[in-house]
Structure 1
Amino acid sequence: MEHNQENTDRRLRINDVIARKVKQLPESDQNLLMTGSAYVGVNAAFCGLTANSFFRRILNVTHARISSALPMAVLPFMSTYVIYKTVVSLPLSSGDLNCEACTVIRGGLVGLVIGGLYPVFMAIPINGALAARYNSAPLPQRGNIWTYWIRVSRPVFRKMAFPIMLQTAFAAYLGSKQFEVIIKAFELPEPGFQFEDIQNKSSTQLNE
C-alpha cells in the first residue's frame, strides 16, 4: 500500500515538473502540443467531406447536402481529435510515452484508421440511406448487398488512397515533432529531476 502511494506521489511530481517545463517553452512549441490533435482532426474532416462528395456523385445524390456534409465533417474531426489526444498528446505531456518510434507509430495509426479509413467507411451508410430515400440510384437486393457496395466503394477508395496516406504521414510526422518538443522541455533545468525519472516511471507502470 505504501509502495503504491509512493509511486502515485512520484507520478504526480513528475507530471507537475513536466507541466512547468512545458510552460517554459516558446509559445509555438506549446501550441504544437496543445493543438496538434486539432490539426489531425481537421484533416480527418476534409477526408470525410471528400469521401462524401465522391459517394454522392456515384449514387447521384443531389439532396440533403448540408445534412450529409455536417456529420461527415464533425464526427471524423471529433473522433480523430479525441483519440489522437488520448493516445499521443496526453501520454507525451504526462511522461507516459517516452519512445519516439512508439509515438510515430501511434500517430500514424490514428491518422490511418481514424482520420483516413473511418470517414470513408462512414460515408457509405450515410449516402446509401440518402440514395434509398430519394431513389437516386438502383440499390441492390438482399442477396448481393456486399458485392454492390464493394463495387461502388472501390473507385472511392482508389481516389481516397492519396488523402489517406497523406493523413497518415502527417499524423506520424506530428507525433515526431511533438516528441521533439517534449525532449526539448526535458532538457530544461529542473533541480532534482532527470530524464531517467520518466523512464523509471514508464518501467514502474509496465511492472504493475
Structure 2
Amino acid sequence: MAALGREAGADLGDKGVLPVGAGEAPQDIKTAAYTHRQPSPSLGDAILRKPMVIEIIEKKFEYLRKEKTLNLYGTVVFGTTASFSGMLANFIFRYCFKVKHDALKTYASLTTLPFLSTIIGYKLLVTDALYSGNINQENCVLRSSLVGIVCGVLYPTGLAFSKNGRLAVKYHTVPLPPKGRVLSYWMMLCQREIKGMLIPLVFQTAYGILNGMQHYAIFESTFEKSVHEE
C-alpha cells in the first residue's frame, strides 16, 4: 500500500498536477502585497494639503507685515509729535530765561530724547502687551494716551526747564533766585508762557487715544483673519 501511494504521488508530480492548496500563497503574504501596491491615503492627503499650508503661512506673513508697517508708521508719527512738543518747550523756556547760548545743543536734545522715549515707552507698554494678550481695548487706549502725556509733554517740559535753567544760572541771563526757592521762583517767572504747553498736552492726549484705538483694531483684525484662515 505504501508503495502504491508513493507511485501515485510520483505520477501526479510528473504530470504537473499539484495537490490542493500547494499553489496558493499564504494569506498574510497576499495582504502585505496588496497593501504595498495600494497608495497610502495619509500620504496623498499630506501632498494635497502641503500647498494649502504654504498659502496659509504666506497669508499670515502678509498680515503681520501689513500690521507692523501700520504700527511702525503710527509710532513714528507719535514720536515726531513728541519732538515738536520738545522744541516748543525749549523755545518757551529759552524765552523765559532769556538764554541765547547753546541753542543747537538744547534743540538737538529736546528733539531727540522725547522722540526716543515715546517710541520705547509705546513699545514696552502697548505693543509688547498687545502681542502677549495681556490688555484689552480700554487699557490699550489708556496706556497710549499716558505715553503721549508723559513722554510727549511732561518729560520734554521738565527737560527744557532744567537745561535752560542751568544755562540761565551759568550765563546770568536772569537774576539768581533766592536760596531754597529756586523752583518756585522760576515757575513764577515762566507761569504765563508755560500755558502754551497746554496745546501739545491736548494734542498728545487726543492722538494717543486715536493711535491706541487704531493699533488695537489692526491687531484684532489681523488675529481674526489668521484664525479664520486656519
Task: Tell me the TM-score range normalised by the shorter chain.
Answer: 0.7 to 0.9
- Cα distance between partner residues in 2 of 1:170 and 1:29: 19
Distance apart, 1:97 and its partner CA: 3.7
Match of 1:105 among 135, 138, 142: 142
Within a 5 Å distance, the mapping from 1:118-133 to structure 2 comes to 118-133=155-170
Aligned to 1:46: 84
The equivalent of 1:60 in structure 2 is: 98
Q: Distance in 2 between matches of 1:20 and 1:145?
A: 61
Q: Distance in 2 between matches of 1:22 and 1:116?
A: 37
- Paired with 2:180 and 2:223, the residues of 1 have a C-alpha distance of 60
Q: Does 1:174 align with 2:225?
A: no
Q: Compare CA radii of gyration and give the structure with the larger one.
A: 2
Paired residue type of 1:169? A
Change (3 A) 1:189 1:74: closer
* Matched residue, 1:5: none
* Correspondence 1:81 to 2:115: no
Q: How much does 1:21 deviate?
A: 6.7
What is the one-letter code of the residue matched to 1:128?
G
CA contact (8 A) 1:44 1:77 kept: yes
Q: Alpha-carbon deviations, 1:21-46, whole Å to 9, x = none?
A: 76333865431223432222111111
- Structure 1, gaps ≥5 residues long: 1-18, 194-208
Supply the distance in 2 between the matched residues of 1:22 and 1:115 (Cα, whole angstroms).
34
Query: Could you say which residue in structure 2 is the equivalent of 1:70?
Result: 108
Deviations 1:54-106, CA, capped at 9 Å, x for gaps: 001111111111011111111111111101111112222x2424411110000
Cα distance in 1 between the residues matched to 2:186 and 2:175: 12
Aligned residues: 174
Change over 3 Å in CA distance of 1:191–1:101 after alignment to 2? closer
Structure 1 pair 182/147, CA: closer, same or farther in 2 (3 Å)? same
How far, CA to CA, are the matches of 2:164 and 2:59 in structure 1? 48
Mind listing any 5+ residue stretches in structure 2 that lack a counterpart? 1-56
Identity %: 30
Who is 1:138 aligned against? Answer: 175
Whether contact under 8 Å (1:22, 1:182) holds in the other structure is: no
TM-score w.r.t. length of structure 1: 0.75
- CA distance in structure 2 between the aligned counterparts of 1:89 and 1:20, rounded to whole angstroms: 23
Q: What is the root-mean-square deviation of aligned Cα atoms in Å? A: 2.3
Q: Which amino acid aligns with 2:221?
A: K
Q: 1:87 to 1:116 in 2, by over 3 A?
A: same
**In structure 1, what is the Cα distance between the partners aligned to 2:58 and 2:191?**
50
Indicate the larger mover: 58-67 or 155-164. 155-164
Give CA-to-partner distance per residue, 1:150-186, whole Å, 9 cap, x none: 2134224311102111011101210110100011101
Name the SS of the counterpart of 2:110 in structure 1: helix
1:41–1:20 CA distance, 2 compared to 1 (3 A): farther
Q: Aligned pair 1:183/2:220, yes or no?
A: yes
Q: C-alpha distance in 1, partners of 2:61/2:71? A: 11
